[in-house]
Amino acid sequence: MPKSLLIVESPTKAKTLQKYLGGDIQVVSSKGHIKDLPKNELGVDLERDFAPKYVTILGKAKVIQDLKKAAAGIPEIYLGPDPDREGEAIAWHIAEVLGEKNHRFHRVLLLELTPKAIKEALAKPVKLNRPRCDSQQARRILDRLVGYQISPLLWQKVKTGLSAGRVQSVALRLVCDRERAIMAFVPEEYWTLDACLDAGAPPPFAAYLYKHKNKNVKPDSAVKVEKILDALEAAEFRVATIDTKPQRRHPAPPFITSSLQMEANRKLRFPPKRTMSLAQRLYEGKELGDEGPVGLITYMRSDSTRVSAEALDAVRTFIDQTYGGEHLPAAPNRFKSPKGAQEAHEAIRPTGVTRRPQDVKAYLSKDELALYELIWRRFVASQMTPAVFDLTTVDIAASDYLFRATASVLKFAGFTKVYQESRETEEAAGPEKFPPLAAGDVLQLRDFDPQQHFTKPPARFTEASLIKEMEVQGIGRPSTYATILTNLQDRLYVVKEKTALKPTEMGLVVSDLLVENFSDIMDPKFTAGLEDNLDRVAAGKIPWQELMRDFYGAFAQELNAARVGMRDVKTLPNGPTCPECGAKLAVRWGKNGEKFLGCAAYPKCRFSGDFSRNARGDIILPVPEPTSPGAPGEPPAQPFPVRGKPVVTGLPCPKCGKELLLRRGRLGEFLGCSGYPKCRFTQNFTRDAQGQVAPQDPEADAAYSCPREGCGGRLAKRRSRRGIFYGCSNYPKCDFTMNQPPQDKPCPRCQYPWLMKKGKKILCPRDECSFEETAAAVE
């Protein structure tokens, strides 16, 4: 029988630890939390100082039974869930169910899963940290009080199934406020003027208009630009000053949770949830052939940039041996951690710097390898010397005007040999170098390049920039960012357009209602203050019940007021009536977050329809022109195009002859056969000037034949929820599809009339032909 028991929260982590510890210590897993607040009730006793009512999570009774069986007869129990507040709560709940009668509990903080770190953690266990557990409990109760008491109001006033969250709703407000700033933005015209100059030796270069009579100049109209051009018509362009100075660019610190999520989003296009899932796998251990499971990175929920002395020594030795002494600073680089960081943690780094990405490539998935390489390169670069650039600024005088050109030349790569941090906005590119220049040189003007511009509205948040904004404002904590962003998108409050986050109409409505009725909850400063108080609870400075009492008094008042005064966005007191039964219409929400009108007499009347609003906000029902006049006193032949109800077109289906109907799907309107599901014919359509529907010519987008042998179909542009693709017109008999448009070049090998692009390669679409080249080679 083993002498002691180590309980962790993850089966993978348990497997990695058991490999290192052998048979003296048995390692088992709780498979995450074993207790939580109940799902079907509030689970918080407001009359007993916010006492939580914990229940065993569904499916965890067997886990608890197995833990008790494993702990039987073993006095020394080591609790090793993750070294954060969530892990502390798991450890407390495990200790509670096992009981202290026959056990002594020790808390071990496993910051990395390496033999040395594991032995040190077991040799120096700590006591269970009640304040950290209380902080997690307070956060859980706060989230439950807000979510379970505000969400029913949204069900009543907007749509059943909606949810509000203490931090989630503030993040939604940030996105909605940015969208409204974009909508309210009024662009202003401005012009830039570049002079294309020649010094008599290559290369020619451009200088931008900088000053007029020692004042910055930014023309705001074409008229002003013309005046400047007239003044410069006979001007001599002479080099006034040349200034060259070295510029040092220092490496970024090793990753913390927030910067890892941001950088993985920018460089790898990983959503934060994906990043954290991959990082969890790398931390808990991956099978590396004969080595068995190995933890490849340190704990991935960290807000500290601290690096252990041992890791610093290892990376400095690696840099010296791999890149040379000129890339190694005289002393280790030190970085300041964010305010309130838990300095007991380390930055996110590889557990062994000599384990290079190429060494583990065979054992990791593509995404795991990409994230590991990102972490590895960032850590190595963080301890290298700065990059050095020569920044040259040339000022050129022309009459009363001054033009300026700058060039930056890399003199020493430093850390950029390994890694370069990405940025939200690209820096404007200047010339790489100047021709030989000296003060007083006269330059030849080749041409002017005036360009009209308009100021741009603030950019929509990306997942990376929203995390940055939340971090700056102190909203939430790095460990919660991934969940917050996932929830906003899963609940269709926010959709992603390419990489930008755009609020849906439902998201805007929900945000407005919450801001109107819960000013404290929706105030970023108030939310940040709560986070600071949760940190104080974790530090043992205030009891968690005090935080709850301070919060709930004001919140209960706002909650009671909202129950009476929150606007009901479903009702239309002065709106139009149902065109089918005369009852009132109500605003409804579809499953994809879209708004429509529905009859208040539902389910007796099933009318539904789209709508728009005029400048005053009044609801307008769109009424199209009839396709043919009806008999006197009868409605037009083409009925009102109500939501969810097909519109008769009078057009025949080309496959079965039945009538085509105008239908509406997730991606908009389309023509579909009335014989569905027996006939599945669908087709895009166009409207003429009178609004009449006509089938779209399939040959318009089907100039290329299907490459499948004997098919005879044509490729047509189609649309799915994932975007545009090209598919065979003989679907479902032929299922050939491709994402990229056909390349209008014949195959050099078999002379097939077109090629297809796949990633960075150009291929022949015929299975019988093996032609393949890189895109650059063909283009």
Q: Which residues are catalytic?
A: 299
Candidates 651, 654, 715; CA nearest to 686 is 651
Q: Which of 145, 155, 232, 168 is nearest to 197 (CA)?
A: 232
d(CA 149, CA 721): 34
The 10 Å Cβ neighbour count of residue 635 is: 11
**What angle do the packed helices 257-268 and 478-490 form, to 10 degrees?**
50
Residue 289: C-alpha distances to residues 366, 370, 537, 764 (Å): 17, 19, 45, 38
CA geometry: angle at 639 spanning 633 and 645, to 5°? 145
Helix (H, G, I), strand (E, B) or coil at 100: coil
Asked if 641 contacts 609 with a C-beta cutoff of 8 angstroms, the reply is yes
Asked if residues 752 and 707 have their Cβ atoms less than 8 Å apart, the reply is: yes
- Answer yes or no: are the C-beta atoms of 484 and 167 closer than 8 Å: yes
Amino acid at 496: K
Residues forming beta bridges with residue 445, ordered by sequence position = 197
CA triple 354-370-274, angle to 5 deg: 125
Pairwise CA distance, residues 546 & 549, whole Å: 5
Angle at 593 (CA atoms; ends 590, 594), nearest 5 degrees: 65
Please state whether 421 falls in left (phi above 0), alpha (psi between -120 and 50) or beta: beta
Other CB atoms within a 10 A radius of the CB of residue 692 amount to 14
SS (H, E, C) 254-306: CECHHHHHHHHHHHHCCCHHHHHHHHHHHHHCEECHHHCEECCECCCCCCCCC
User: Which one-letter DSSP state was computed for residue 632?
Assistant: T
* Cβ contact 114:120 at 8 Å: no
Q: Who contacts 196 (Cβ-Cβ below 8 Å, separation ≥6)?
A: 204, 205, 206, 445, 446, 447, 448, 449
What secondary structure, in 3-state letters, does 395-435 show?
A: EEEECCEEEEEEEEEEEECHHHHCCCCCCCCCCCCCCCCCC
